[in-house]
C-alpha cells in the first residue's frame, strides 16, 4: 500500500497535529517505520538497534523546520544520520612507491573477478599501468575468466599453473611489476568463507608477501544479516582498507553496506553497477542512504522544494488549502514550480502523498500532456481560472480552439481538477498534509 | 556468580540437544521463564537468520499464541512448537524432484549472478550419475567470460558429457543442440546452465523465456524442473528473485547454495511461505558431494546453530 518510508512516515504523522517540535511519542511512532525499513533493507539487526537509539536521541525535541512537516523533519534526521554512518566516499590510496598492490577479497560469487577487470580499466583510464593477477587456482576456469577479460581490455594478466600456490603467483607478479612495467597490481583472489581458517591463512600469507596498499572487501549488495560477521572475519585477518559493493544495479536495497561500514569502519570505495567492465561507479552516500531507506530520490526533492518555494508562498498556499480556495490559477503556478524541478513524471513519483493524487491521473502522464494542460489553462481568462464553474459550452469551445485541444480534453481537465480539489479538501480537513505538504 | 553457575549446569544438561537447537537451546530455551525478553530474543534470532520481518512476526505470533493457549511458562517448553511451526512452513509445499518416469528429463537452472548455478549443476550431475542416469550438460551461459570452460571442467570431474557452442552464441541454440544430442546419445537427463542475471533486467529475463520455450517445443512438458539457485548469504532480496524468476520461467524448486557459510539462509522461509515454492536441494561446499536433498528439520535445526567463532 505504501510505497516507501516517506509515505509511511507521512501517514504516521498525518494523525498528529502540526507542532513546533518532535515529541517523544512522535519520534517513537516514526522510528518504528524506520526500523522496519532498515530491516527490510537487510541492515543487521544489531546495527539497526544502535542506529535507532542514536536517531532517537537526536530527534526527540528537535525543532521542525518551518519549511518541513514533522514527517519530513524525521526523514531528514534519519537520512543525515545514515549518511554520516555511511561515511564519505574514498579514493583508492595509491600513495608511496609503485607498484601499488590492490588485493580483492570476499565470499564466493561476490564478483571479485569482474571487479578486478573493472578496476584495471578504471585505473588505466586514470593513467596507470595495471597488471591483473590470477590468484584463484581453485574455482574451475577462474584463471581463464580473468585472462579472457584481460584480453578483451588489452590489459596484461599474470597467471600460472593451477598447481602453483597463489602466494607464490602473487609475489612473482609483484616482483615483475617492480621492474617498472606496471604501476598497479590487482590481485584477484579466490572466494572463500570467513569461517574457513585454512583459506583465511592463505590470504594472510599473500598479504604478508606483497604488502598490499589496498585490501578491498568485495561484497554482494544482496547480502543479508551475515554481512557483519563476514566483514569482521576478513577485517580481523587482513585489515581491510575499503569496501566495494557489487550488483547494485538490481533492486537490492544494499543494507549490507551499512552493516559492513559500521562494524569495520572502512570506507566504501566503489559500486559495481553491471556486468560490463565499465560498469563501475563512485559511491554517493546520500543516494545509497535513500536507497537503503527505500525512498528513491524523495530527499533530493525535499531539498529542491525547500529551495524553490519561499515561505511566503508556502504560507499562502497553506491558507488556500485550508480554505479550499485552491483554483486553476494556483494550479498553474504550482505546475510551473514543479516543472522547474525536473521531468514531470519523475517529480510526481518523488512526491509522497502526491502519488495518491497522481494515481487519479493517467498512469504515464507525459510531458506532452502536461504541455496541453498548461495550454488549456493558459487559454482561460483569469476569471475562468479563479472560478471554473462559469465555464459553459461556448467558453469551453473557445478554450479548446485557443489551446489547440478539444472540448473533451478541456472537460477532462476540469474533471480531474475537481477530483484533485476534493482530495485536497480531505487532506486539509483531516489535518493531514497531502499534495502540498512538501511545499510548506 | 550464581547465574553463571546455573547456566553451566543448564548447558551440560542440554549438551545433547546443543547440536540440534544450538544457541537457542542453551541461551534462549535454557533461560527459564517465558518473559517478554524471551520473545524479543526469539524475534532477534530469527531476523538475524534472514527470516525477514514479516515471517518472523508471524512465526513469533503463532508460537506465542499456542504457548499461551497451553499455559506454558517455561522457555524450554516452547522449543518444540517453534520447531514445528518452522518445519510446517517449509514442508507445506514440498514436492519431489523430477517425479515420475520419462525418457528424457530436462532441468533448467537459473539465478542471479554468482549464486552458485554452475557448481550446483556439477553436483546435480554427480547426483544423477550416482543414480545410474545418463546425464548431458548444456552450456547455455555463453555470456560470462570462461563460463563454458568452467562447466567443461566440472563435466570432466563428474564424468558426464557436455554440449557447448562458442562464447557469445545463442543460448537457445545450445539448448536445442543439447536436447538433440541427448536423444542421439541416449541420455535421459539434460541439465542446462544459464548465465547469471539480475531479475530486474527485462531483456535478460525475456531471453530466459526463449530458452525455456526451446526446451518446451522439443520435449513433452519440458523443462521438467526449473531450479532457482539462491545464495544462502543473500537477505531479503532473494524473495524478489524468487518472485520474478518464478513469474518469468515458472520456477519449480529452489536450490539453496552456500549453506556451509555462516549465513542461515532463513529467507527461504519467506520464499516458501509467500511464494509457495518448494525447496529441493541444499549446497554445502565446493565439491561434487556437497549437495543434499532439502530436509526441513535439519534446516530448521541449523537456523539456530551457533557459528564456530561464537561457540
Ligand atoms: N562454499 C560454497 N561455495 C559455493 C557453493 N556453491 C557455489 N559456490 C562457489 O560460489 C562461486 C560461484 O559459483 P558458480 O557456480 O560459478 O556460480 P554461478 O551462479 O554459476 O555464477 P555465474 O554463472 O557467474 O552467475 C564459486 O566460487 C563456487 O565455488 C556452496 O554450496 N558452498
Ligand atoms: Mg555459472
User: What pLDDT is recorded for position B242?
Assistant: 98
**pLDDT > 60? residue B5:** no
User: What pLDDT is recorded for position A4?
Assistant: 64
B114 in ligand 1 pocket by Cβ < 6 Å? yes
Q: Is residue B213 part of a domain?
A: yes
Q: Is residue B96 part of a domain?
A: no
C-alpha distances (whole Å) from A67 to each of A289, A315, A434, B64 are 22, 10, 14, 45
B142 in ligand 1 pocket by Cβ < 6 Å? no
The Cα–Cα gap between B148 and A140 comes to 10
Pick from A147, A224, A253: which is nearest to B234 by CB? A224
* Band (A309; pLDDT cuts 50, 70, 90): low
Furthest CA-CA distance within chain A: 89
CB atoms within 10 A of CB A281: 15
User: What pLDDT is recorded for position A112?
Assistant: 98
One domain, residues B27 and B114 = no
Range list for CATH 3.40.50.300 in chain A: 100-292
User: What pLDDT is recorded for position B146?
Assistant: 97
**pLDDT > 60? residue A222:** yes
The Cα–Cα gap between A278 and A130 comes to 15
E strand or H helix at A246: strand A242-246
User: What pLDDT is recorded for position A347?
Assistant: 57
Name the pairing type of β-strands B105-110 and B225-231: parallel
How many A from CA of A108 to the centre of ligand 1? 6
User: What pLDDT is recorded for position A304?
Assistant: 56
Instruction: Give percent of chain A with pLDDT exceeding 70.
Output: 80
Write out the three cell numbers for A50.
Answer: 544502535
Give the right CATH number for A100-292 from 3.40.1180.10, 3.30.750.80, 3.40.50.300, 3.30.540.10. 3.40.50.300
One domain, residues B61 and B182 = no
Phi, psi dihedrals of residue A255, rounded to the nearest 5°? -60, -20
Q: Each residue of A38-60: pLDDT tens digit? A: 999 999 999 999 999 999 999 98
One domain, residues B158 and B216 = yes
**pLDDT > 70? residue B188:** yes
The residue-averaged pLDDT of A283-307 equals: 72
Q: Which residues constitute the domain of residue B83? A: 9-91
Residues of B in contact with A104 (CB under 8 A): none
- What's B126's domain CATH number? 3.40.50.300
Ligand lying nearest the CA atom of residue B114: 1
Assigned superfamily of A3-86:
SRP54, nucleotide-binding domain (1.20.120.140)
Q: Say whether A411 sits in a helix, a strand or coil.
A: helix
Q: Say whether B245 sits in a helix, a strand or coil.
A: helix
The Cα–Cα gap between A256 and A86 comes to 11
Q: CA angle, corner A91, sides to A86 and A97, nearest 5?
A: 140
C-alpha distances (whole Å) from B31 to each of A98, A407, B23, B27, B309 are 57, 75, 11, 6, 22
| Interface test with chain B among A35, A140, A152, by most B beta carbons within 10 Å | A140
CA-A193 nearest atom, ligand 1:
1
C-alpha distances (whole Å) from A57 to each of A53, A72, A190, B228 are 6, 17, 43, 44
Q: CA angle, corner A211, sides to A205 and A217, nearest 5?
A: 75
B110 in ligand 1 pocket by Cβ < 6 Å? no
Residues of A in contact with B149 (CB under 8 A): 140-141, 144-145
**pLDDT > 70? residue A405:** yes
Chain B, 113-152: which have a CB under 8 Å from a chain A CB? Answer: 113-116, 143-147, 149-150, 152
User: What pLDDT is recorded for position A296?
Assistant: 58
Question: Does B198 contact A40 at a Cβ distance shorter than 8 Å?
Answer: no
Pick from B153, B199, B258: which is nearest to A108 by CB? B258
Q: How many angstroms away from the CA of B310 is the closest CA of chain A?
A: 10
The Cα–Cα gap between B107 and B174 comes to 14
Ion ligand 2 residue ranges (Cβ < 5 Å): B 117-118
Residues A245 and A272 sit within 8 Å (Cβ to Cβ): yes
Q: Each residue of B66-84: pLDDT tens digit? A: 999 999 999 889 999 999 9
The residue-averaged pLDDT of A222-240 equals: 97
Question: Does A109 contact B231 at a Cβ distance shorter than 8 Å?
Answer: yes
User: What pLDDT is recorded for position A340?
Assistant: 65
One domain, residues B86 and B117 = no
* Band (A355; pLDDT cuts 50, 70, 90): very low
CA-B283 nearest atom, ligand 1:
31
Choice between A242 and A10, residue whose per-residue pLDDT is larger: A242
Choice between A425 and A272, residue whose per-residue pLDDT is larger: A272
Q: Each residue of A256-268: pLDDT tens digit? A: 999 999 999 999 9
Choice between A83 and B5, residue whose per-residue pLDDT is larger: A83
The Cα–Cα gap between A181 and A196 comes to 36
**pLDDT > 60? residue B59:** yes
In a mutational test of the pocket of ligand 1, which residue from B112, B114, B204 has the highest number of ligand atoms less than 8 Å from its CB? B114
Furthest CA-CA distance within chain B: 74
Pick from B152, B153, B233: which is nearest to A224 by CB? B233
One domain, residues B52 and B145 = no
The Cα–Cα gap between A125 and A173 comes to 22
Q: Say whether B283 sits in a helix, a strand or coil.
A: strand
* Band (A328; pLDDT cuts 50, 70, 90): confident
Q: Is residue B142 part of a domain?
A: yes
One domain, residues B25 and B123 = no
- What's B65's domain CATH number? 1.20.120.140
C-alpha distances (whole Å) from B18 to each of A420, B260, B304 are 62, 18, 10
Q: Each residue of B201-247: pLDDT tens digit? A: 999 999 999 999 999 999 999 999 999 999 999 999 999 999 999 99
Chain B, 42-101: which have a CB under 8 Å from a chain A CB? Answer: 44, 47-50, 52-53
Q: Each residue of B121-133: pLDDT tens digit? A: 999 999 999 999 9
The residue-averaged pLDDT of A288-294 equals: 88
Nearest CA to ligand 1 atom 5: B258
**pLDDT > 70? residue A411:** yes
User: What pLDDT is recorded for position A308?
Assistant: 57
Domain boundary among B28, B62, B91: B91
Pick from A44, A250, A253: which is nearest to B198 by CB? A250
Q: Say whether B204 sits in a helix, a strand or coil.
A: helix
The residue-averaged pLDDT of A388-417 equals: 89
Mean pLDDT of chain A: 84
**pLDDT > 60? residue B17:** no
Range list for CATH 1.10.260.30 in chain A: 298-439
One domain, residues B52 and B146 = no
One domain, residues B29 and B126 = no
* Band (B135; pLDDT cuts 50, 70, 90): very high
User: What pLDDT is recorded for position A122?
Assistant: 97
| Interface test with chain B among A224, A249, A263, A273, by most B beta carbons within 10 Å | A224
The Cα–Cα gap between B22 and B304 comes to 6
* Band (A90; pLDDT cuts 50, 70, 90): very high
* Band (A314; pLDDT cuts 50, 70, 90): low
Q: How many angstroms away from the CA of B236 is the closest CA of chain A?
A: 6
Chain B, 275-294: which have a CB under 8 Å from a chain A CB? Answer: 286
Give the right CATH number for A298-439 from 1.10.10.60, 3.20.20.110, 1.10.8.60, 1.10.260.30. 1.10.260.30
Identify the closest residue of chain B to A39 by CA–CA distance: B53
Write out the three cell numbers for A238.
Answer: 587482513
The Cα–Cα gap between A138 and A166 comes to 10
Which residue's entry shows cell 517529480? A347
One domain, residues B86 and B113 = no
Which residue's entry shows cell 485541444? A405
CB atoms within 10 A of CB A362: 10
Residues of A in contact with B146 (CB under 8 A): 141-142, 144-145, 147-148
Q: Is residue B28 part of a domain?
A: yes
A307 in ligand 1 pocket by Cβ < 6 Å? no
C-alpha distances (whole Å) from A166 to each of A161, A197, A222, B11, B153 are 10, 16, 28, 43, 20
Q: Say whether B136 sits in a helix, a strand or coil.
A: strand
Amino acid at each position: 500500500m505504501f510505497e516507501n518510508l516517506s509515505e509511511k512516515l507521512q501517514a504516521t504523522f498525518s494523525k498528529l497535529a502540526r507542532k513546533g517540535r518532535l515529541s517523544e511519542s512522535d519520534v517513537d511512532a516514526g522510528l518504528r517505520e524506520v526500523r522496519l525499513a532498515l530491516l527490510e533493507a537487510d541492515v543487521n539487526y544489531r546495527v539497526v538497534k544502535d542506529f535507532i537509539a542514536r536517531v532517537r536521541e537526536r530527534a526527540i525535541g528537535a525543532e521542525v523546520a518551518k519549511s518541513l512537516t514533522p514527517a519530513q523533519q524525521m526523514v531528514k534526521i534519519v537520512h543525515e544520520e545514515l549518511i554520516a554512518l555511511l561515511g564519505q566516499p574514498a579514493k583508492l590510496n595509491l600513495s608511496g612507491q609503485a607498484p601499488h598492490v590492490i588485493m580483492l577479497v570476499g565470499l564466493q560469487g561476490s564478483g571479485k573477478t569482474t571487479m578486478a577487470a573493472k578496476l584495471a580499466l578504471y585505473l588505466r583510464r586514470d593513467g596507470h599501468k595495471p597488471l591483473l593477477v590470477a590468484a584463484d587456482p581453485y574455482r574451475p576456469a577462474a584463471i581463464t575468466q580473468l585472462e579472457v577479460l584481460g584480453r578483451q581490455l588489452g590489459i596484461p594478466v599474470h597467471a600460472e599453473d593451477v598447481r602453483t600456490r597463489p602466494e607464490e603467483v602473487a609475489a612473482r607478479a609483484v616482483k615483475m611489476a617492480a621492474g617498472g612495467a606496471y604501476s598497479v597490481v590487482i590481485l584477484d583472489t579466490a572466494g572463500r568463507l570467513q569461517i574457513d581458517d585454512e583459506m583465511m591463512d592463505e590470504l594472510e600469507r599473500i598479504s604478508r608477501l606483497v604488502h598490499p596498499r589496498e585490501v578491498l572487501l568485495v561484497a554482494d549488495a544482496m547480502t543479508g544479516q551475515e554481512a557483519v560477521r563476514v566483514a569482521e572475519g576478513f577485517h580481523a585477518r587482513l585489515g581491510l582498507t575499503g569496501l566495494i559493493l557489487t550488483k547494485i544495479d538490481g533492486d537490492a536495497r544494499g543494507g549490507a553496506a551499512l552493516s559492513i561500514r559500521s562494524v569495520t569502519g572502512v570506507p566504501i570505495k566503489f559500486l559495481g553497477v553491471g556486468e560490463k567492465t565499465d560498469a563501475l561507479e563512485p559511491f554517493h552516500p546520500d543516494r545509497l542512504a535513500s536507497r537503503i531507506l527505500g525512498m528513491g530520490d524523495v530527499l533530493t526533492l525535499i531539498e529542491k522544494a525547500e529551495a524553490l518555494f519561499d515561505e511566503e508562498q508556502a504560507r499562502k498556499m497553506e491558507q488556500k488549502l485550508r480554505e479550499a480556495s485552491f483554483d486553476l490559477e494556483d494550479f498553474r503556478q504550482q505546475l510551473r514550480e514543479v516543472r522547474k524541478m525536473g521531468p514531470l513524471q519523475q517529480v510526481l513519483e518523488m512526491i509522497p502523498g502526491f502519488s495518491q493524487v497522481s494515481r487519479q491521473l493517467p498512469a504515464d502522464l507525459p510531458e506532452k500532456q502536461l504541455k496541453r494542460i498548461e495550454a488549456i489553462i493558459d487559454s482561460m481568462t483569469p476569471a475562468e481560472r479563479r472560478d471554473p464553474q462559469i465555464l459553459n459550452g461556448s467558453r469551453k469551445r473557445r478554450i479548446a480552439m485557443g489551446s489547440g485541444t478539444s472540448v473533451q480534453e478541456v472537460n477532462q481537465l476540469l474533471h480531474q481538477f475537481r477530483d484533485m480539489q476534493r482530495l485536497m479538501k480531505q487532506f486539509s480537513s483531516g489535518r493531514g498534509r497531502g499534495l502540498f505538504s512538501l511545499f510548506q | 556468580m550464581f547465574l553463571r553457575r546455573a547456566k553451566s549446569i543448564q548447558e551440560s544438561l542440554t549438551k545433547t540437544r546443543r547440536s540440534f537447537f544450538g544457541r537457542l537451546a542453551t541461551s534462549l530455551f535454557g533461560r527459564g521463564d517465558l518473559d517478554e525478553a524471551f520473545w524479543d530474543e526469539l524475534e532477534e534470532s530469527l531476523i538475524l537468520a534472514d527470516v525477514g520481518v514479516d515471517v518472523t512476526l508471524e512465526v513469533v505470533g503463532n508460537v506465542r499464541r499456542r504457548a499461551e493457549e497451553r499455559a506454558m511458562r517455561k522457555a524450554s517448553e516452547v522449543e518444540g512448537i517453534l520447531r514445528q511451526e518452522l518445519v510446517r512452513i517449509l514442508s507445506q509445499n514440498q514436492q519431489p524432484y523430477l517425479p515420475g518416469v520419462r525418457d528424457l528429463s530436462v532441468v533448467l537452472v537459473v539465478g542471479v549472478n554468482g549464486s552458485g548455478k554452475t557448481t550446483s549443476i556439477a553436483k546435480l550431475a554427480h547426483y544423477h550419475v550416482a543414480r545410474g542416469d545418463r546425464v548431458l550438460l548444456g552450456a547455455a551461459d555463453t555470456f560470462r567470460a570462461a563460463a563454458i570452460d568452467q562447466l567443461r571442467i566440472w563435466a570432466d570431474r563428474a564424468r558426464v558429457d557436455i554440449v557447448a557452442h562458442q562464447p557469445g552464441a545463442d543460448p537457445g541454440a545450445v539448448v536445442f543442440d543439447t536436447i538433440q544430442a541427448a536423444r542421439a546419445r541416449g541420455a535421459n537427463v539434460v541439465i542446462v546452465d544459464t548465465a547469471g542475471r539480475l531479475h530486474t533486467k527485462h531483456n535478460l529475463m525475456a531471453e530466459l523465456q526463449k530458452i525455456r520455450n526451446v526446451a518446451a517445443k522439443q520435449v513433452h512438458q519440458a523443462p521438467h524442473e526449473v531450479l532457482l539457485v539462491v545464495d544462502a548469504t543473500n537477505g531479503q532480496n532473494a524473495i524478489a528473485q524468487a518472485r520474478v524468476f518464478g513469474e518469468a520461467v515458472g520456477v519449480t524448486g529452489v536450490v539453496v547454495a552456500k549453506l556451509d557459510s555462516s549465513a542461515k539462509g532463513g529467507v527461504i522461509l519467506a520464499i516458501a511461505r509467500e511464494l509457495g515454492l518448494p525447496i529441493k536441494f541444499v549446497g554445502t561446499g565446493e565439491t561434487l558431494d556437497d549437495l543434499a536433498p532439502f530436509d526441513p528439520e535439519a534446516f530448521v535445526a541449523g537456523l539456530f546453530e551457533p557459528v564456530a567463532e561464537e561457540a
